[in-house]
Amino acid sequence: MDAAAASMDEAEQRISDIEDKFTENNEAEKKREIKAKEHDLRIREISDSLKRNNIRIIGVPEEEEREIGVEVLCEQIIAENFPNLGKDTDIKVQEAQRTPIRFNQNRPSTRHIIVKFTKYSSREGIRKAAREKRSLTYKGRQIRFAADLSTETW
């Protein structure tokens, strides 16, 4: 009888130890998940701050920039849609490029153009003018200006 009671006590102790370890592992997993979410948030914030001076131009036909370059194309779009803006402020395009190809059969669309301005104020001036004008075109085709944010922020 004593041997059976000792075996029961030992089994209960093992079960208790396993339950404690299980609880510790669950708590550690929850902490890891919270830290991972915090890290993702920080990465998103850093990504958005790096893209702070960027504007995304949507709807410009493919191959338009082949002969003149993307930077010149962007300057033409800005001059065509905001003739007063170019004269009043010193807007300089630092860099411009097409986004990589992501083929989606359900939604065939042109690749966007990402424009990086030298100053944040230039970007904000253009976005404000675009909101006020509402209807933007390039060679008669409807285009849109949007903030270039990380995909998680959208």
pLDDT of 32 reads 96
63, 110 in Cβ contact below 8 A?
A: no
Q: CATH classification of 53-147 is 3.30.70.1820, yes or no?
A: yes
Give the chain's mean pLDDT: 80
Q: What is the dihedral of CA 146, 118, 121, 42, to 10 degrees?
A: 60
- What is the SS3 string spanning 110-134? CCCEEEEECCHHHHHHHHHHHHHHC
The C-alpha atoms of residue 32 and residue 34 are separated, in whole angstroms, by 5
Give the residue ranges of DSSP H helices in the chain: 2-50, 70-81, 83-88, 120-133
The predicted-structure confidence for 16-51, as pLDDT tens digits, reads as follows 999 999 999 999 999 999 999 999 888 888 877 777
pTM of the model: 0.63
